[in-house]
Chain A
Amino acid sequence: MSEVVIIDSGGANLASLQFALERLGARAAVSGDAARIAEAPRVILPGVGSARDAMERLRALGLAERLPRLEQPVLGICLGMQLLYRLSAEGSTPCLGILPGTVERLASQPGRPVPHMGWNQLELAVHDPLLEGVETGDYVYFVHSYAAPVSQAALATTRYGVEVTSVVRHGNFWGTQFHPERSGRTGAAILANFLRVS
């Protein structure tokens, strides 16, 4: 049975992620214990709330320095993906710095309200085991006001007025801007792939 530790990064709503992993037959524990996280076969960094609060929480848990050094597969979801970058414009917050670049606020445009909330399509850029079975045009569920710019690290992008990174990878660190746990079959496929990557 696959084991995953979900980092207790504050904020509510870890249950839906935990349930999604359990539906895939994984054992998913929520923990803020740095030693337990370091030993976990796989780690998920979720996140709702603000970048500043989340980074403060990670620092308080002693994870701000330890997380970038993890060698097992790590998946950041939503704000958790944004925290992988060097900086977030949300409160000018220094983040984990695993990926270069700055997460910027989405500009509100007519017909494109912010937060970007709802189903939107993926455009695959690079083949990756995390996206096995996922195709360009597949819909996933987004809820975000900030977004990462498109870079070489992007595995998939999504257009919402501008093009943003929707799936990213740097070595053993993956990130999804959308919520795979709320993205129906496509999301379940991505989580199942994460349980297999090494």
Chain B
Amino acid sequence: MVGDILELAARYRDDGADELVFYDITASPEARSVDREWVRRVARGLDIPFCVAGGIRSVADAEAVLNAGAEKVSINSPALADPSLIDQLSARFGSQCVVVGIDSQTVPEGYRVFQYTGDPSRTRDSGRDTLQWVVEVQERGAGEIVLNCMASDGVRQGYDIEQLRAARPACHVPLVASGGAGSVGHFRDVFAQADVDAALAASVFHTGAIAVHDLKRELREAGIEVRPWR
């Protein structure tokens, strides 16, 4: 399994990915920490930034992952359970290491943050308003926000431009769009229309539907600045 991860990471790096995020989406509900040895092995081989998400519940958890060579940690459910974890992590490691992931869904009143989204049977409305949470996590020291729009996630019908546009004015740190990428046009639209700093995707790359270098070439042709892929 670890071998597969390393191979995949190197392939994306060579294809022009700017950053990799390793999600252990089952970690939070099952209350187990990420295994750190694979982090070290990824860091040994990889020369672009990578972020580890999932299972980071304490300063000690984050420290182990960062010491193993990850650039950033991303926290989601544990930040909702104890928001002071964001303060603690940014005080200890600096806000540049602290990414807060937000799983958000449209409700009649606006947008709401959801918790434990890695396990459908435990997923629940946290009761927090997404835009207020975006503001609060920044005040607590988040250096980057990944806004995962759940209704779009996995269905490949495009990023939730409307929601990302709503979050943008509230977000003064890098905002990463997540959920919904299905075509090159979706990436182009989210950069052009929602003014996000980065776009994250998983399945379109894993299935080979879009190759990173093709995506970057097309984005560049559309006038969007990208780092070259070779």
Taking Cβ atoms with an 8 Å cutoff, the residues of A that contact B are: 11-16, 19-20, 22-23, 48-50, 108, 111, 113-115, 117-119, 139, 141, 143-145, 179, 181-185, 187-188
Q: Tell me if B115 is interfacial: C-beta within 8 Å of chain A.
A: no
Q: Tell me if B189 is interfacial: C-beta within 8 Å of chain A.
A: no
Within the complex, the shortest CB–CB distance from A182 to chain B, in Å, comes to 5
Whether A13 lies near B67 (C-beta < 8 A) is yes
In the complex, residue of chain B having the shortest beta-carbon distance to the beta carbon of A111:
B195
Within the complex, the shortest CB–CB distance from A18 to chain B, in Å, comes to 8
In the complex, residue of chain B having the shortest beta-carbon distance to the beta carbon of A17:
B69
Whether A141 lies near B172 (C-beta < 8 A) is no
Interface secondary structure of A, over-half rule = mixed
Q: Tell me if B227 is interfacial: C-beta within 8 Å of chain A.
A: yes
Whether B197 lies near A113 (C-beta < 8 A) is yes
Q: Tell me if B198 is interfacial: C-beta within 8 Å of chain A.
A: yes
Which residues of B lie under 8 Å from residue A113 when comparing CB positions? 171-174, 197
Whether A108 lies near B47 (C-beta < 8 A) is no
Q: Tell me if B97 is interfacial: C-beta within 8 Å of chain A.
A: yes
Whether B228 lies near A184 (C-beta < 8 A) is no
Within the complex, the shortest CB–CB distance from B179 to chain A, in Å, comes to 20
Whether B174 lies near A187 (C-beta < 8 A) is no
Whether B69 lies near A16 (C-beta < 8 A) is yes
Which residues of B lie under 8 Å from residue A49 when comparing CB positions? 93-94
Within the complex, the shortest CB–CB distance from A154 to chain B, in Å, comes to 22
16 contacts between A and B (CB under 8 A): A11-B93, A12-B93, A13-B69, A15-B43, A16-B69, A23-B44, A50-B94, A115-B143, A117-B144, A118-B18, A119-B18, A119-B227, A139-B227, A144-B96, A182-B71, A187-B47
| Besides A13-B97, A23-B45, A113-B173, 17 new A-B residue pairs in contact (Cβ under 8 A), listed by A number | A12-B93, A16-B71, A23-B44, A48-B94, A48-B96, A48-B97, A111-B195, A113-B171, A113-B172, A113-B197, A115-B173, A118-B197, A119-B227, A139-B228, A145-B95, A182-B71, A183-B47
Whether B13 lies near A108 (C-beta < 8 A) is no
Whether A15 lies near B143 (C-beta < 8 A) is no
Which residues of B lie under 8 Å from residue A144 when comparing CB positions? 96
Q: Tell me if B40 is interfacial: C-beta within 8 Å of chain A.
A: yes
Q: Tell me if B49 is interfacial: C-beta within 8 Å of chain A.
A: yes
Which residues of A lie under 8 Å from residue B202 when comparing CB positions? none
Q: Tell me if B21 is interfacial: C-beta within 8 Å of chain A.
A: no
Interface size class of B (residues with CB under 8 A): 20 to 34
In the complex, residue of chain B having the shortest beta-carbon distance to the beta carbon of A180:
B47
Within the complex, the shortest CB–CB distance from B51 to chain A, in Å, comes to 11
In the complex, residue of chain A having the shortest beta-carbon distance to the beta carbon of B62:
A12
Closest 7 CB pairs of A and B: A15-B69, A12-B66, A16-B69, A139-B227, A143-B96, A119-B227, A19-B44
In the complex, residue of chain A having the shortest beta-carbon distance to the beta carbon of B64:
A12
Interchain CB contact (< 8 A) of B174 among A12, A15, A117, A183: A117
Whether A118 lies near B198 (C-beta < 8 A) is yes
Whether B18 lies near A181 (C-beta < 8 A) is no
In the complex, residue of chain A having the shortest beta-carbon distance to the beta carbon of B169:
A110
Q: Tell me if B87 is interfacial: C-beta within 8 Å of chain A.
A: no
Decide yes or no: A13 and B172 within 8 Å by CB, A182-B48, A184-B47 being known contacts. no
Whether B43 lies near A19 (C-beta < 8 A) is yes
Decide yes or no: A15 and B48 within 8 Å by CB, A113-B174, A117-B96, A118-B197 being known contacts. no
A169 to B216: give the CA distance in the assembly, Å: 34
A183 to B71: give the CA distance in the assembly, Å: 12
Within the complex, the shortest CB–CB distance from A74 to chain B, in Å, comes to 22
Which residues of A lie under 8 Å from residue B19 when comparing CB positions? 118
Whether A188 lies near B143 (C-beta < 8 A) is no
Whether B47 lies near A182 (C-beta < 8 A) is yes
